[in-house]
Chains A and B, each alone.
Chain A
């Protein structure tokens, strides 16, 4: 059964770049049936789709974050990563990595447990 696990710094300074990695176990990131993605949740607020990517590197981002987000895949490590530049306090959130099913359905499942990232000096 596929499991996802986020990792990265829990504290990032304003104006710096947030970097997170999601590691897969129990499944391959090179499966052509899925996208992989990031969803975040600011404290006490709702969910926000950040972006999704295919194992080839093709990626799509939330228009509101597009100028600051990049993502990549490392097939040798069965991982994908997120970078968010020029962060501010508004980027403080729990970040979840997810698998995006887009064939035979359109949904996010499973989810990683999430990682709290705080932007503060």
Chain B
């Protein structure tokens, strides 16, 4: 069970869009539509932003969206805002009641 692969960092100016990729294998992302995304500000607990690839929980801004193609899931933040600066983690179900996370991506708002 290897960690999902995410870019270490992405950045954008306010109002721009950024996309974070999350690459797995046929054992996780490629097989299951159970990818979730979490936002973590320093010193805080992670917060659910997207689940089941593209579903957005109530209260999460519409500028956050998710998608998947093959073994790679993506989180897009459209209309980047200062408060979006945080670490983002993807997570996938990996079968047999196990889960695997990505290494995390630091989003910087320029």
Interface residues of A (CB under 8 A from B): 35, 39, 46-49, 52, 60, 62-64, 96, 101, 105-114
A interface footprint on B85-107 (CB within 8 Å = 1, 0 otherwise): 00001010100111111111000
Given contacts A47-B46, A114-B45, contact A60 B98 (CB under 8 A): yes
**Interface residues on chain B, number (Cβ under 8 Å):** 27
Q: Is B109 interfacial (CB 8 A cutoff)? A: no
Instruction: List A contacts of B64 (CB < 8 A).
Output: none
Cα A64 to Cα B100 with chains together (Å): 12
Chain A residues, Cβ within 8 Å of B47: 111
| Shortest distance between the CB of A119 and any CB in chain B (Å) | 21
B68 to chain A minimum Cβ distance, whole angstroms, is 13
* Binding site secondary structure of chain A: strand
With A47-B89, A64-B1 known as contacts, the answer to whether A105 contacts B97 (CB < 8 A) is: no
CA–CA, A96 to B46, complex, Å?
9
Chain A hits for B34, CB < 8 A: 106-107
Give, as a whole number of angstroms, the nearest-CB distance from B72 to chain A.
18
Residues of B within 8 A of A (CB): 1, 3, 32, 34, 36, 38, 44-48, 51-52, 55, 57, 89, 91, 93, 96-104
Residue of B3, B45, B57 near A111 (CB, 8 A) is B45
A112: chain B residues within 8 A (beta carbon):
45
When distances are taken between beta carbons in the complex, the residues of chain A under 8 Å from B104 are 46-47
Q: Are A47 and B45 also in contact (CB < 8 A) when A106-B36, A106-B51 are?
A: no
A-B CB proximity, top 10 nearest: A106-B34, A107-B51, A60-B97, A111-B45, A107-B36, A109-B48, A49-B99, A46-B104, A47-B101, A46-B103
